[in-house]
Each structure stands twice: as C-alpha cells, then as structure tokens.
Amino acid sequence: MPRPDTLPAWQQLMAHREVVGAGRVPSSHWTPGEPGWLQVAAGPLHADLSRHRIDPRGLELLVELAEQAGVRTRLARMLRGDIVNPTEGRAALHTALRGEGPLQVDGGDLRAGIDTGIAAQARMAEAIRSGEWRLASGEAVRHVVNLGIGGSDLGPALALEALAAQADGPACHCVADLDARALHAVLAACDPAATLFVVCSKTFGTLETLANAGRARAWLRVAGLPEAQLHRHFAGVTAAPDRAAQWGVPAAQCLHFGEWVGGRYSLWSAVSLVLQVACGPQVLQGLHAGARAIDTHFAEAPAHANLPLLMGLLGVWYRNFMGAQTHAVLPYAAPLRQLPAYLQQLEMESLGKSVDLDGNAVDWDTGGVIFGAAGSHAQHAFMQLLHQGTLLLPSDIILFDDTTADEPALNANALAQAQVLAEGGRVAAAPGEHGVLPGGQPVSLIQAATLDAETLGALLACYEHKVFTQACVWHINPFDQWGVELGKQVARELQR
C-alpha cells in the first residue's frame, strides 16, 4: 500500500478542508449535513454522529480514502492470520479468541486450541469460585488479586469495575504499580490464608508484575503459611509458561495464550480469568458476544453505516486535515471511569509511531493524545477548555438509557454537553465576550440500552477497529510498541 499522502482521496481532502474550515472555528462557520444525518447502529450500540465538522462530500472522500488505503483487504489479512505485525513477525488474532467456526492458520485449526484454552480457563475459574481450589492451609479462596500491568491489568481492571453489579464470586482486585504501597493497600483488606494471586503477564518478564508477585510471596511467608504449600496461592496467565514455571507457578495452575495476542488486545484471552472468577462464565460469554457482533459489523456493514470505520475515519479527518491533537472520551457511567486509561494504551501504544510499514519516516501525523474521565467529573475539571479554549478537541460522549430511571440528570448532562460543545451558546451572567461559548467542537454520542457485558465487549471492539482503521490509513504497524523498551533498559542501567 502507498503512503497516504499520495492517495487521490487524501489530496482531495486537503482541498476540502478549506470548505469546512480547519482548527477551532465557531459553530456558525460550518455547515454539517441535515440534522440527524449520520445515525449508525452497531450491535447493541447506537451512535449519533451528526455533531461532526464534516459534510456529505467530506464523508464521501473519507470513505474513498479507506478504500484506497485498503482497509478491507488488510482486515481480511488480519482475520485469516497473516503476519500483520512484521517487526515482531506475528499475526494479530485477538478477533479469533472471541470468534466462532474453524480457522485454518499455517495448515492447522486454531479453533481447537482456542476452545481448549477457553475450557481450561472455565475449569480454573469454577474451581476457584466453587471452593474446590484449596489454599495452603486448606481454606477456599475468598480474595483474588490480579498482578499485571498494561494490557495484563487495564482490561481486567476496567471490566471488573464496569461489570461489578454482576459479581457473585470471591472479591477480586487488580494491582499494577511498582510502588509497593499499591499492593499493600489492597492486601490490608485481604486474609493471607484465603488469598489467591493471579500473576498475569504475557512475557512473564515484566519488572512491575514480578516485583509484586515476589512481595505477595513474602506476605504469605510472613503470615506463617507453610512454605511447601505456598504455590497453591498462585495461578499464572501467560504466553511464556516455562518462565512461569521457573518462577514457581505449577504447570497445572497456569493458563496460556498465544504470542499472536497483543498485550493491549489480551482481555479476550485467559487474561480475563479474574473477571470470570468474579462474575462467572456468562459474563465472559456476553463480553465475547458483544465484541463478535462488532467484528461482523466491521467486516460487513457498508462504509456509511460502519461505526468503527467511521470513528477511525473521523479521527483521521480531525488529526490530519483539521489540526486536532487530542481526543476526549467521556463516559456518563461511573463504572466506566477506567475506560479512558484502557483506551490510552489501546490507541497510544498502537498509533504512537513515526515510521511506516516500509520502514520509512512518516511525514504525516499519526496517533494523537487520548484523555478523558467519567463525564460528571470531567464537567467539573477540564470541560472548560473544550468549551472556551482555543483547541479543536473532538470527544466521544458515552451514555446508557437505563441510568435515567435512577438519576435523570446524568443523561441530561451528557446531552447538554453534546449540544453546547457542538452549537455553543451564551452564559447570561458572564460579562461581555466572557460568556460566549463558540461551539463547533465535534462530538460522537455513543449510546446503549444498558451497561452490561455485551455492550462493554461491543464498545471495546469498536475502539479496536477504530485504531485498526487509522493504522491502515497511516500505513503504520499498530501491533508493536518498540518505543517503550529503551526506558526499561536505561532504568536497569541506572540501577547498576
């Protein structure tokens, strides 16, 4: 595939941005399509994309850009297990983990291995939930602490909090930070005799996770649990089972996943063990079903009604043609407050690249800054900058219909923010120009009936395919993260 700035649609979009007006301009200076012109249904999600600084011609050109950049061809390559991560020589098959049906890769059926892994995870989760898993002193598990970081923490931590209403198993926690105080704050509420640690690490070589696992072992020793039985307090989740065994996790207590699952896409693998322990098998099935619905939607829906594709193309539009550097994610749902952190890894680790797939330096912008917070908090912290600052700052506002029954003001606030960001207005009490909100800020309203496992799965899959779309257009590899390695190396040298 060629570099994006040589594609005809890219050049036409360059000219077209003059029609719409780049940068932050007041809402009165641009003409969207008809009100309500861009409404998209995707699995359990509905998106209202009518508050965007794009007109029908601009949208046509973006769709042409996706075609010219080969998004569909590349998706087909990813789904069938081709090497789409060339710098690590790996496929990226997270979609297979939540998929169905046979999948032949390199002459073998991947599905059989995936199903075996799912069954092993279900057995382990059930043994923990039912009390069959006995710890060193013969007690059943009442607390589970997932020790992982990055993709081995953010997905489980987000899902545990988002779906806490469905939890009926042992109390589950996640600890990631290298600072020992994070672990000890959680352990203060745990009984050593009844606590199981899940050491969750794709590589089983990550400093933070191994440091916490070592501290956990020391905590159990200090509690006087018998040394020869301490291994009963550890389960492993990894793509490097030999390293887990070397560390001291018995093979029978270790779940595996393939190298072809990227860390930030690993919630779909055995990394979800802690969620399954907390909430049971149906929650995991719901999560996968929601994501699978979006995988099908992304592969089959026409471009104008394809939510992840449109999210990706709008991201390209604002980043490359309108001068935006950031994107805000604002869930009006307290249980989703960790979503921005999850998406920061997904988007910024995937798209923070300045060399293209051919090994050449890019001279077009790639990934921007993702930030956000639960909407209620955002309104009282940083929304001022979106309303009256000078930056063009697109945002996603996420809301759920059923929150209205408990607290009607929550969704009223979500809708009010969308309206005021896009249309602007005036605060009568403020003197002169200080009361003017220019509007013109692009907003996607993403809505579902309720926050459950299925909608969470659908939401996360939408963002994954959004990232994939952007990576295709930008001609970069979204599946490696070489940039994070040097800092680790320098830290090791500084410690010597």
Q: Which residues bind ligand F6P (CB under 6 A)?
A: 149-152, 201-203, 206, 209, 263-264, 349, 481, 484
Hey, what are 203's tokens? 């590589």
Whether residue 349 lies in the annotated active site: yes
Query: CB 262 → ligand F6P: shortest distance, Å?
Result: 7
CB of 292 to ligand F6P, least distance (A): 23
Query: Which string of DSSP letters, residue by residue, matches 73-139?
Result: HHHHHHHTT---BTTTTB---HHHHT--S--EETTEEHHHHHHHHHHHHHHHHHHHHHT-SB-TTSP
Closest CB to ligand F6P among residues 198, 398: 198
Please report how close the Cβ of residue 419 comes to ligand F6P at its closest, in angstroms: 38
Q: Which of 34, 300, 380, 493 is catalytic?
A: 380
Q: Which residue has the tokens 């594709």?
A: 309
488 carries an active-site annotation: yes
Taking the C-alpha atoms of residue 47 and residue 445, their distance in angstroms, rounded to an integer, is 6
Least gap, CB of 276 to ligand F6P (angstroms): 18
- DSSP H helical segments within 366-452, as ranges? 375-379, 383-388, 403-406, 408-423
Tell me which of 347, 349, 454, 464 is the catalytic residue.
349
Residue 360: Cβ-neighbour burial (10 angstroms; 0-12, 13-18, 19+): exposed
Q: Distance between CA 192 and CA 220 in Å, rounded? A: 6
Q: Would you say 322 and 445 are in contact if contact means Cβ atoms under 8 Å apart?
A: no
Min dist. Cβ of residue 346 to ligand F6P (A): 10
What's the CA angle centered on 468, arms 316 and 315, to 5 degrees?
Answer: 20
Closest CA to 155 of 248, 246, 257, 240: 257
Q: How far is CA 74 from the centre of its chain?
A: 21
Of 150 and 192, the one with the shorter C-beta distance to ligand F6P is: 150
Residue nearer to ligand F6P on the CB measure, 264 or 297: 264
Least Cβ distance, residue 367 to ligand F6P (angstroms): 15
For residue 323, which phi and psi values (nearest 5 degrees)? 85, 15
Nearer to ligand F6P, 304 or 492 (CB): 492
DSSP code, position 141: P
Q: Report the chain's terminal Cα–Cα distance, integer Å.
A: 45
Q: Which is nearer to ligand F6P, 133 or 197 (CB)?
A: 197
Nearer to ligand F6P, 273 or 393 (CB): 273
> In angstroms, how far apart are the furthest CA atoms of the chain?
75
Could you give the residue numbers annotated as active site? 349, 380, 488
